[in-house]
Amino acid sequence: MKRLLSTIALLAVTSSVLPAQDSWTGTFAAGPGPVFQYSHGGLGVGAYRGTLSANGAPLPTSQYNGFDFWCVDANGIYGGGEVTVRRMSSLDVGPLRSSLAQAAYLTTLRGTHTTGAQMSALHGAIWSVTGGLPARWNPQSTPAMDALIDEARANYASVNLENFYYIEFAGDPSRQQELIFQGEGSPFTVPEPTGVALLGMAGAVLVIGRLRRRC
Whether residues 44 and 150 share a domain: the answer is: yes
* Domains held by the chain: number: 2
| β-pair partners for 50 | 30
- Residue 46 DSSP SS3: strand
Q: What is the pTM of this model?
A: 0.74
Whether residues 203 and 110 share a domain: the answer is: no
Instruction: Report CA 104 to chain centroid distance, whole Å.
Output: 10
Whether residues 60 and 165 share a domain: the answer is: yes
- Residue 176 DSSP SS3: strand
Whether residues 209 and 155 share a domain: the answer is: no
Whether residues 3 and 26 share a domain: the answer is: no
Whether residues 50 and 124 share a domain: the answer is: yes
All residue ranges of the chain with pLDDT < 50 are 4-19, 62-66, 185-187, 189-199, 201-215
Whether residues 166 and 130 share a domain: the answer is: yes
Distance of alpha carbon 198 from alpha carbon 128, whole angstroms: 48
Whether residues 145 and 119 share a domain: the answer is: yes
What confidence score (pLDDT) does residue 29 get? 81
Whether residues 74 and 172 share a domain: the answer is: yes
Whether residues 202 and 96 share a domain: the answer is: no
53, 154, 184 from 163: Cα distances, Å: 17, 20, 6
Whether residues 155 and 201 share a domain: the answer is: no
Whether residues 12 and 25 share a domain: the answer is: no
What confidence score (pLDDT) does residue 173 get? 61
Distance of alpha carbon 102 from alpha carbon 144, whole angstroms: 16
Q: Which domain holds residue 213?
A: 1-18+192-215
What confidence score (pLDDT) does residue 187 get? 43
33, 66, 102, 173 from 149: Cα distances, Å: 31, 24, 8, 25
What confidence score (pLDDT) does residue 90 get? 94
What confidence score (pLDDT) does residue 10 get? 42
Q: Which helix (H) or strand (E) holds 38?
A: strand 36-40
